[in-house]
Structure formats: structure tokens, C-alpha cells
Amino acid sequence: MGLDEFIEAAISEGNRNGVGALSFEKRAVFLISEAEILCDMEGIDTFLHHYAPAWIKETVTAFNRIGATDIAQGFEEIGSVEAPCEQLLDRVNKLVTGRVGYEYSAFENLLNQRDSL
């Protein structure tokens, strides 16, 4: 299965069955995709409403695995406080919408790490 097919399958399965039904690598792709889409369309609050606090640590791990360390650190900061301030939320939203620290090709690296997960 190629990268495009893998990403498409992860998103489709996640939407159909929920994030908890996915393997780790598919969850990583799904959470990153959801962060990108929700931050672009509605803002980070919507992502957090759907996935915090249960999936924040995996979101951090997913972004770290593709090299987006600033985004990962931002989500880690969000997860470490009960009520994140608007400044933090705005900063992380901008990092996510700007795809800071990674490109599409980074997902290939994530797929190549499957055996070590």
C-alpha cells in the first residue's frame, strides 16, 4: 500500500470507526489530519473538543514522529494545563495551519517507522 492509500485508509477508517479503533500509525496520521483540518476550518478549540484529553499525548507523539517538534511541544503545553490561555491556543493553531516543521514526505518516514512502533 502506497502512502496516499495509507493516509486515505487511515482517515476513512478513523471517521468510520473512531480513533480508538486504529493502529498506532493510522492513529498518528488520523490525528495529524484532524488537527490540520479542524485548525484550518474551525480552530484548535474544535480539535480539543473532539480529542482532548484522551488523545493529546498521542497527538504529541505523532507530530514528534514526523519532525514537527514545535507543534508537538505546543500540544504538550496544552495538555499540561487545565485551561490553556488563548495566546497558547492561537500559537499552536498557527503552527498547525502553517504545517510548521514538516512536509507531506514526512508521512513516509512515519510509515517506515511502523516496525519500530
**Residue 40: which residues within 8 A CB-CB, separation 6 or more?**
97
Question: What pLDDT, on the 0 to 100 scale, is given for residue 111?
Answer: 75
pLDDT digits (tens, 9 = 90+) for 75-107: 999 999 999 999 999 999 999 999 999 998 888
Q: What Cα–Cα distance (Å) separates residue 60 from each residue in 1, 5, 16, 17, 54?
A: 26, 24, 23, 22, 12
Choice between 74 and 106, residue whose per-residue pLDDT is larger: 74
Cα–Cα dist 61/73, whole Å: 10
CA 42 to chain centre: 15
Choice between 10 and 107, residue whose per-residue pLDDT is larger: 10
pLDDT digits (tens, 9 = 90+) for 26-73: 999 999 999 999 999 999 999 999 999 999 999 999 999 999 999 999
Cα–Cα dist 117/70, whole Å: 22
Contact 75, 60 (CB under 8 A): yes
Query: If pLDDT is split at 50, 70 and 90, which confidence band does 116 have?
Result: very low
